[in-house]
Amino acid sequence: MLNKKLKGVVIAMPTPLLENEDIDTKSLCALIDHTIGNGADAIMMLGTIGEGVALLDDQRELLVETTVAQVAGRIPVLATVSSASTRKTIENAKSLEKSGVDFLVSTPAYYNKFPDPQSHIDHIQRIADATALPLIFYNAPGFTGNSLDADTIEKILNLDRVAGIKDSSCNFSMFAELLRRYPNKDSRPGTIMQGDESVFDASLMMGADGVVSGGGVMYVSLLRELCDAGLAKHLDASINLQVAFSKKLMEILLPNPQRNWLYNIKRELVRQGIITQPHVTSPFMNN
């Protein structure tokens, strides 16, 4: 996978859980097959929606081991290794390096504020240097508390062994600026993926390589259509599909997306008959 470019529809996967917060491996395998069968180009484990930072280490390893076995090489598997320090992130990366995943994913270090851009550049470079796997940089300031500008992200995108970025900053002007700097997909130093589900159409029309979506796990086929329309520069279809996709997401997440968004997504997957239980890690709301 070192020479394989990430593109298209990447589904950030929720983690099916038992009531005791261990992995529900049967539901996990069913969810993986459903996601692949409906057109995902790759799946991302242990991210924000995957509750990666909340799972015990042995459960993280079980999740990745089960995922790699179930995917069986059909599509790339991404595994998130983010932590609050560079050393701990590297430890996480090394623990998964030989698991069979195809890409590692890391945010900036979180919890503490790191206002100097060089802190983030050095953090990602050290992680990339510590593993043989390609690294995807995950820009998620709403969760990490650390915002990065376009210049810093561009420097990270050009680091050795960084294969691309997932931008979930919800800062479309910054994302658009990055795309303007690299209008030719073939000559970009790495893939540029949009993680803000409200602007998938505009991002793809401007030249994003693809999208990374957690909410899209509920509507993979629709997201596949939206991504294909955007990549093909079919403006009207792209807009219409974005409207339909956003409407479906809001029907699940409203009226208070921050209160129990993760439970609501899992509950919808239960309703669709894909997983069996909507349990989430505490202190997420289980109702």
- What span, in angstroms and rounded, lies between the C-alpha atoms of 76 and 43? 7
How many other CB atoms sit within 10 Å of the CB of residue 112?
11
Helices within the chain (DSSP H only): 25-37, 57-71, 86-96, 117-130, 141-144, 150-157, 172-181, 200-206, 220-231, 235-253, 257-271
Beta-carbon contacts of residue 46 (< 8 Å; ≥ 6 apart): 15, 52, 55, 60, 63, 64, 79, 80, 81, 105
Give the tokens for residue 24: 């529900």
Active site residue 185: no
- What span, in angstroms and rounded, lies between the C-alpha atoms of 48 and 195? 11
Q: Would you put residue 233 in left (φ > 0), alpha (ψ -120 to 50) or beta? A: left
Active site residue 166: yes
| Helices 117-130, 86-96: inter-axial angle, 10-degree rounding | 30
Instruction: Write down how long the chain is.
Output: 287
**DSSP 3-state of 10:** strand
- What span, in angstroms and rounded, lies between the C-alpha atoms of 134 and 77? 12
| Helices 117-130, 150-157: inter-axial angle, 10-degree rounding | 20
Which of 166, 185, 219, 266 is the catalytic position?
166
Residue pair 59/22 in contact by the 8 Å Cβ criterion: yes
Which of 5, 88, 110, 138 is the catalytic position?
138
Residue positions annotated with a catalytic role: 138, 166
